A and B are shown apart, each in its own frame.
Chain A
Amino acid sequence: MIKVRNPASAGGLSVATSGTPEVATDEVPGRQTDDRASSAQRVRRAKRWLAAVTRLVLLLFLVTVSTFGLLKLTPGSPIDAILPPDATPAQIASARAEFGLNQPLAVQYVHWLGHVLTGHLGDSYSTRQPVSGIIADAAPVSLEIATVALLTALLFSVPVAVWAAYRPGRLVDRVSNFVTSATLATPAFVLGVLIVFVFGVQLGWFPILGWVPFSENPVSHVEHLVLPVVTLALGECVLFTRLLKGDMMATLQQDHVLSARARGLPTWRILIKHALRQSSFSLVTVMGVVVGRLIGGTVLVEYIFSIPGMGSVVIRAVTSRDYIVIQAVVLLTALLYLAINTLVDLSYPLLDPRVRKGRAW
C-alpha cells in the first residue's frame, strides 16, 4: 500500500536533495490529517463521550454495590466482632439498630456510600483503628514500589526493544528473546523467591525482608527497595519489550522510515523520532492491563519481602477475617483501576487519530 496522504514523504525528499535534512524531520507524518472536525464528527464525538460517561457511571454503581455486597455475603457480621459471644438477643437487636443493620439493604447501601464518599471506611474489626488511617499509612509504600517498578521497566525495555527491532537476530535480540520466553513462563511469585535466593541469600547484596522509611535512612530505604522493584519490574519489562519490539519492527518497514533513511538522517534520530514515537502507542494500549498486573504484583512482592504496604494489609485482613478492611482495599483498588483504564481509553483518540473512527470494547 502506498501512502499518498503522507505529506512528509513527498516534501521530505525534496528537502533531502537540498542538503538540509533536519528542516522537515520534526513533523511526524500522519499527525496533521484531521485538525478540523466536521459537525457530524463533532456530534459523533459528543455521543461517544456521553456513552463513555454513562458506562463509567454504571460501572461505578456496579463496583460499589458489589463491594458493599461483599461484606453482606461474608459469614458473620460486624456485630459478632463487637459483642461478646454470650450477648442476649436484646443486646444484639439494639446493636443491629445502632449500626443500621435492621434497615433495608438499599438504605444501608446509600448510608455506606455516603460514609465512603466522606472518607469514613469504618473501623478495623481486629485492631479497632479507622480503616482510612491504615490505608493512608500503607498506600504510599505500595504506590512508591509500583511507580518505581514501572519506570524501571520502561527504562530497560525501551532501549532493548528499539535495538532488538533495529537489529533482529543479533545479540541483543537473541538475548532479549531468551530472557523474555524464560521470564514469561516464570510466575511472579516464583521469580520473587528465586531473586531472594540469588541476591539476598547467596550473594547477600541486598536485605531480603522489611522496609525502612525514606525519612529514617535514605540509603537503607533504597537498599530495601531494590529487590522488590526488580521482582515487580522484570515481568513488566518483558511484556513491554515483546510488545514494543513487535510494533517497532512493523513501523521500521514503513515508507516514512525509508524516506527518513533516504534523507540521510542519523539512525538514532530515525529510531527515536520516527519509529519509537509511533510505536509507543502500543505501550499506552496495555497500560490498563499493566496497572492491574502491578497492583497484583505489589501484593505478592509485599508478601514476599514483608513490606508494610496495601498488599500486606489485605493479606493480613484476609487471614484475620477482617472483612471491612478487605472491602475498603477492594473498593479503592477497583476505583483506581477503573479511573486509569478510563483515562487510557479516552487517551487513544487523542494520541492516535486512526482510532477515532471505530472501536471495539
Chain B
Amino acid sequence: MVTSLDKVPDVGQGGSVVAGMVTPTEPAISARLRRRKRPVGAILGATWLVIVILAAVLAQALPLPKPAALGNTFAAMPSWDHWLGTDGLGRDVLSRIVFGARGSMAVAIGATSLALVIGVPLGMISGFFRGATDAGISLFVNFMLSFPPLIFLIAVVTALKPGILTLVVALALLGIPTFARVARANTIALADREFVTAARALGASPLRILRRELLANVMLPILSLALVVMATLVVAEGTLSFLGLGIPPPTPSWGGMLSAGRDSLRTHPLLVFVPALFFFLTVLAFNMLGDWARSRVGRSSSI
C-alpha cells in the first residue's frame, strides 16, 4: 500500500508497477518505440512550408516569367513552358502562385510576429500583476473579441488604407487576444512555482522575473500555438483577398487568383483548383506542424 503510494504508476514511462517494483513490460516497450517513430505528418508539413517560403523568398531569382507578363496562350493547360498552365490573360500560373506566396507568407508571418510581440507581454503582465491591471487588459482583450472576426477585419481594412501593411496590422489585431489569453493563463499557472518565489526572495524586480524567469516558460507553448494561428491568418488573408479587400489585384495573391478563377469555373476549373490546392496544402502543413509541436510541448491551457 505504501509502495504504491510512493511510486505512482506512470503509464508510458516504460514500466508498470507490480508490487511496488517497476518492471518493463511488452506493451510499454512498444509504446516507447511508437513514441520514437518519426512524426511523418510534421516532417511533410515542414518540408512543404520550407519549399513555399524558399520559393517566396527566391521568387525573383527563379527562372519564371514575370507574374504580370502577358503571354499569347490564354487559359492553357499545363505544358513544359507553363508548368501549371496560364490564366485568362495568358499569365503564367506557377509564377503567380510563387509571387502570391510572397504576399501570403509575408502577411501571415508579419502579423503573427506582431501579435506575439504585443499579445504575449499583455497577457503576461495581466497574469502576473492581476488586480486592476488584469481587469484593464482583460477589458481590452474582450473588446477586441466582441466583434466577429471577419467583420472586425472588414472594419479595420475600411478604416485604414488598403495595402500589405494594413493587412498585417488588421490580422495582428486578430491574433493578439489569442496570444494574450494563453500567455495570461500560463503566467498564472507558473507564477506560484518555486523558481518564481526563489527569484522574488532574491530580490528580483517584477520586470526581471517576467523577462528572465517566466518569458521562456510561457513562450514554449505559445510558439507551438503560433503555428496554428499562422494557419488561420493565411486563411484570413486569403478570405480578404478573395473578397477583393486584401492584397490589391495587380499584385498576385492566392485568394485573388481563386476569386478570378471563379469566372471561368465552367471552362477552366484548373484556375480554381491550383490556388485551392496550395491553400489546402499550406494550411494542412501548418496544422500538422502545429499539432506535432503542441503534442511535444504539452497541451496549452486554453485555446
A330 touches B151 (CB 8 A): yes
Tell me, yes or no, whether B159 is within 8 Å of chain A by CB.
Answer: yes
Among A70, A188, A196, A338, which residue has its beta carbon within 8 angstroms of that of B159? A70
Q: Please give me the residue from chain B that is nearest to A317 by CB atom.
A: B158
B244 touches A319 (CB 8 A): yes
- How many A-B contacts if CB must be within 8 Å? 128
Tell me, yes or no, whether A351 is within 8 Å of chain B by CB.
Answer: no
Bound CA–CA A185/B272 (angstroms):
16
Q: Which residues of B contact A186 (CB under 8 A)?
A: 276, 279-280, 283
Instruction: Classify the interface of chain B: helix, strand, loop or mixed.
Output: helix
Tell me, yes or no, whether B229 is within 8 Å of chain A by CB.
Answer: no
A196 touches B265 (CB 8 A): yes
Tell me, yes or no, whether A295 is within 8 Å of chain B by CB.
Answer: yes
B146 touches A59 (CB 8 A): yes
Instruction: Classify the interface of chain A: helix, strand, loop or mixed.
Output: helix
Tell me, yes or no, whether B242 is within 8 Å of chain A by CB.
Answer: yes
Bound CA–CA A186/B235 (angstroms):
9
Bound CA–CA A59/B238 (angstroms):
30
B265 touches A341 (CB 8 A): no
Among B147, B272, B279, which residue has its beta carbon within 8 angstroms of that of A334? B147
Bound CA–CA A194/B139 (angstroms):
40
A59 touches B139 (CB 8 A): yes
CB distance from B177 to the nearest CB of A (A): 9
Tell me, yes or no, whether A149 is within 8 Å of chain B by CB.
Answer: no
Give the A interface residue count (CB, 8 A): 47
A197 touches B148 (CB 8 A): no
Bound CA–CA A315/B255 (angstroms):
16
Among A67, A185, A330, A338, which residue has its beta carbon within 8 angstroms of that of B287? A185
CB distance from B188 to the nearest CB of A (A): 8
B262 touches A295 (CB 8 A): no
Q: Please give me the residue from chain B that is nearest to A188 by CB atom.
A: B239
Most chain A C-beta atoms within 10 Å of own C-beta, residue among B150, B280, B283 = B150
Most chain A C-beta atoms within 10 Å of own C-beta, residue among B138, B151, B269 = B151
A336-356 vs B, Cβ < 8 Å mask (1 yes, 0 no): 011001000000000000000
A165-197 vs B, Cβ < 8 Å mask (1 yes, 0 no): 000000000000000010011111110011011
Given contact pairs A193-B262, A193-B272, A58 touches B280 in the complex (Cβ within 8 A): no
Q: Which positions in B face A, CB cutoff 8 Å?
A: 138-139, 141-143, 145-151, 154-155, 157-159, 181, 184-185, 235, 238-239, 242-245, 255, 258, 261-262, 265-266, 269, 272, 276, 279-281, 283-284, 287, 302
Known: A59-B139, A189-B255. 6 other contacts (CB 8 A): A55-B139, A59-B143, A185-B283, A186-B280, A292-B149, A361-B138
Can you report 27 A-B residue pairs in the complex whose CB atoms are below 8 A from each other?
A: A70-B155, A181-B287, A185-B280, A185-B284, A186-B276, A188-B235, A188-B239, A190-B276, A193-B261, A194-B272, A196-B265, A197-B265, A292-B148, A293-B149, A296-B148, A314-B154, A318-B158, A318-B245, A323-B158, A326-B155, A330-B151, A333-B147, A334-B147, A334-B151, A337-B146, A341-B146, A360-B185
Q: Which positions in A face B, CB cutoff 8 Å?
A: 55, 58-59, 62-63, 66-67, 70, 73-74, 181, 184-190, 193-194, 196-197, 201, 291-293, 295-296, 299-300, 303-304, 314-315, 318-319, 323, 326, 329-330, 333-334, 337-338, 341, 360-361
